[in-house]
Chains A and B, each alone.
Chain A
Amino acid sequence: MSSPTEAPSPLTEHWRHFSRNRGAVAGLAVVLMLLLLALFPGGFAPHSPIEQFREAALSPPAWEDGGSRRFLLGTDAVGRDILSRLIHGARLSLVIGLVSVSLSLSLGIVLGLISGFMRGGVETVIMRLMDILLALPSLLLAIAVVAILGPGLFNAMIAIAVVMVPHYVRLMRASVIGELGKDYVAASRIAGAGTLRLMFDTVLPNCTAPLIVQATLGFSGAILDAAALGFLGLGAQPPTPEWGSMLASALEFIQSAWWVVTFPGLAILVSVLAFNLMGDGLRDALDPKLKI
């Protein structure tokens, strides 16, 4: 008997779909680069992020008149090298994204599973609570949470996580309800599975594709929100090289020294764009409904 042709492994197949999308691959490349910078900032940054070169304060980028090769992207008002600060800031941005996305993702999964499984009273309470959270403007809500917890990078992450939770809960609940109607769930119950096993072993793996996509997109949202909080002085505190707070402290030089404002802004733009492109590509690769 001839053995059947081996089907491509799921990973290979997903990669084939993903790589067809040029933008997604570009996004992935930028994300990988950010990851590299975040893991080894010392290896790439020419200077320390907090060292002040007073004699070279506000020196322009290297290609401008008066710029020097020593500070490629110029220096800020107290003479810190912008390039080095941006490179060290990449780690912060990724940590912010990772922590707040994992916090809200795990909370969202649990709440979504509970409300999907316990239709009725519990579900109503959870979902109406989420509706209330969604009804508040996200930045305002984040500011309110930070106001309660006090300013700081970690509290900003918690605030961002709280803001993002409703999206995951809704997504999870919708997928759970869709999956619960299928026979394999009944088959699993018949095999003697209890509610917890049904929730986490049977149903959860079948709901992951939309969650992965939402989490990737949420990553960029988290970076953006953290920058906004930092800009308002509620996130990372000086001298932490966080992109948002770099923008905030450079605000007064927007007319006189454009580079101090532009480069942190560009860094935020590029990384958010990269995560969004990658998320879109992931959705196309993982969502079977979009496959032809």
Chain B
Amino acid sequence: MALLEIEQLNVAFGRPEAPLIAVDGVDLSIDEGEVVGVVGESGSGKSVTSLAIMGLIDPPGRVLAARLELAGRNLLTISPRARREMLGRDVAMIFQDPMTSLNPCFTVAHQLIETLRIHVGGKATERRAQALELLRQVDMPDPEHRLDAYPHQLSGGMCQRVMVAMAIACNPRLLIADEPTTALDVTIQAQLLDLLLALQQQRGMALLLISHDLGVVAQVAQRVVVMYAGQVVETGALPRIFEAPRHPYTQALLAALPENNVGRRRLQTIPGTVPGQFDRPAGCLLHPRCARAVSRCVLERPALIDGNPGSQVRCHFPLDGEAP
């Protein structure tokens, strides 16, 4: 059985009669030890999906799902107290902006030890040693001194390392990384990705990597989920999905990568923007932006259909897999 199983996840905000649909019927499953990448433009529902898994959608946001199970427990019916116990222990999360993810009032040691105290226990001196060991594991330079540093005394990369240390403190089985490298510069990005991947392999934990950087996802993930306007439009194993995309949106994303535009004067782009609350089209959600759209796309919303083994695509006229 998969570690995380989501079926028909819907998240909506705003008034019920005119909802903003952030996530629309998403299916997602992650096995133990698997690395799954979720890619998509801003506003395609990547982050909201992860927040819904963590139970961080507050009213007036509404979360509905046919099935939302983590490690065999139903997150839809679980009590808030049991859910809090699961958070941090079974599943942990890293955020995009490392500079605001740490509490500015407390030292690194205090925040690490607090997580350990709640979930692991043990003596105060042991916990400090554990905190130091965690900082070593995330390759923090000069960990002894950094223990007593405040977040504003650390660089963005170091803050993110502390976040990773806090996330792995309780040996979670699933780590959700929501654009963990977006706010960092490129050299640090590579280091942090290597670190995440090394920790993932050492500990055998599953990793859900959310990113809009296809290059990052291609480096680390085994399977990719492409999202658009709250829907999954294509899933499949790497590297096949990037070598032979079947959905026009995946193909367009790949075509917009700078490395696929060498020698051109301008980057290829996808015209228009992701539909919002008031301009959600009927039919295929992508049709106003799709070069291949025909009348059927305007009228009929496509379902997610199985393609090759382990891959699915949401398109009436999937591409037959030529390279972009």
Contacts and interface: CB of A to CB of B under 8 A. Distances in A.
Interface of A: 1, 3-4, 7, 10, 182-184, 186-194, 202, 205-206
A189 B87 contact: yes
A194 B101 contact: no
B207 to A, nearest CB: 16
A183 B178 CA distance: 12
B249 interface: no
B87 A190 contact: yes
Given A4-B142, A205-B105, A191 B100 contact: no
The listed residue with most B CB atoms (<10 A of its CB), out of A7, A189, A192, is A192
B89 A206 contact: no
Contacts of B105: 205-206
A190 B101 CA distance: 11
Contact of A192 (B87, B95, B150, B163): B87
A189 B56 contact: yes
Contacts of B92: 190-191
B238 to A, nearest CB: 27
8 contacts: A3-B145, A190-B87, A190-B88, A190-B93, A191-B87, A191-B88, A191-B92, A191-B114
B118 A184 contact: no
A194 B93 CA distance: 17
A7 B118 contact: no
Contacts of B101: 183-184, 187
Given A4-B145, A187-B163, A187-B166, A192 B85 contact: yes
Most chain B CB within 10 A, of A182, A188, A190, A193, is at: A190
A184 B103 contact: yes
A192 B92 CA distance: 10
Interface of B: 54, 56, 81, 84-89, 92-93, 95-97, 100-106, 114-115, 118-119, 141-142, 145, 150, 153, 163, 166
B130 to A, nearest CB: 15
Nearest to B97: A183
Contact of A3 (B54, B104, B114, B142): B142
A1 B143 CA distance: 12
Nearest to A202: B103
B152 to A, nearest CB: 9
Contacts, number: 64
A75 B84 CA distance: 68
B100 A183 contact: yes
A192 B89 contact: yes
Contacts of A186: 56, 95
Contacts of B103: 184, 188, 202, 205-206
B77 to A, nearest CB: 19
Nearest to A190: B93
B102 A191 contact: no
Given A192-B84, A205-B106, 19 more contacts: A1-B142, A3-B142, A4-B142, A183-B96, A183-B97, A183-B100, A184-B100, A184-B103, A187-B95, A187-B163, A189-B87, A190-B93, A191-B87, A192-B86, A192-B88, A192-B118, A192-B119, A205-B103, A206-B104
B105 to A, nearest CB: 4
A3 B141 CA distance: 10
A136 B88 CA distance: 48
B245 to A, nearest CB: 33
